[in-house]
Structure 1
Amino acid sequence: MTDKTVFIVNDMTCNHCVGTVTKALQQALLGAEISVDLATHKVSFSGDKAAGENAIREAGYTPEAA
């Protein structure tokens, strides 16, 4: 079983943001399980934590430890 990484991304404010973060993670973490919840601002994913965090930052958002 793969551990999930969870970040809070408070500057995600709309569905466009959700799409941007999701796409960035999909490109950085091929085949990863990704879940993005706008209501709670939670982003969770399987795979490399550092790569996922970097992808979120490069997409213009600020991931914080959950």
Structure 2
Amino acid sequence: MCSSHQHHDGVVADAAVKGVTFKVEDMTCGHCAGTISKAIEHTLPGAAFSIDLESRQVTVAGDAAIAEKAIQTAGYQPERLAR
């Protein structure tokens, strides 16, 4: 969880992404979503993803293990949701 505490609702990137979805309970604000977004963009360049801050979910079209590691490296605790 970050210390920014700038709360923003909404979705980052493409909301229609199909892929693996993670619940990220410690993603609490727009700054957190931005940090995760940058980590995914850096680790999986060109991969489609969506971030829904309200539901605290991140969906990534790409390698699930790499996406999970990117979120963890950004400082968050992703929990892969069953499909």
For the superposition of Structure 1 and Structure 2, which TM-score range results when normalised by the shorter chain?
A: over 0.9
2:8 aligned with 1:27, yes or no?
no
The 3-state SS of whatever aligns with 1:13 is: coil
- Return the index of the structure with the highest Cα Rg: 2
Number of aligned residue pairs: 64
Output the TM-score relative to the length of structure 1: 0.93
Task: Quote how far apart the aligned CAs of 1:10 are.
Answer: 0.2
Give the match's secondary structure for 2:59.
strand
Match of 2:59 in 1: 44
* Structure 1 runs not aligned, ≥5 long: none
* Alignment partners' CA distance in 2, 1:10 and 1:22: 15
Letter in 1 for 2:26: D
Between the two proteins, what is the percent identity of the paired residues? 47
Higher relative contact order (CA 8 A, sep 6+): 1
Counterparts of 1:30 and 1:65 in 2: how far apart (Å)?
A: 21
Structure 2: any 5+ residue segments left out of the alignment? 1-17
Q: CA RMSD in A?
A: 0.9
- The answer as to 2:19 corresponding to 1:10 is no
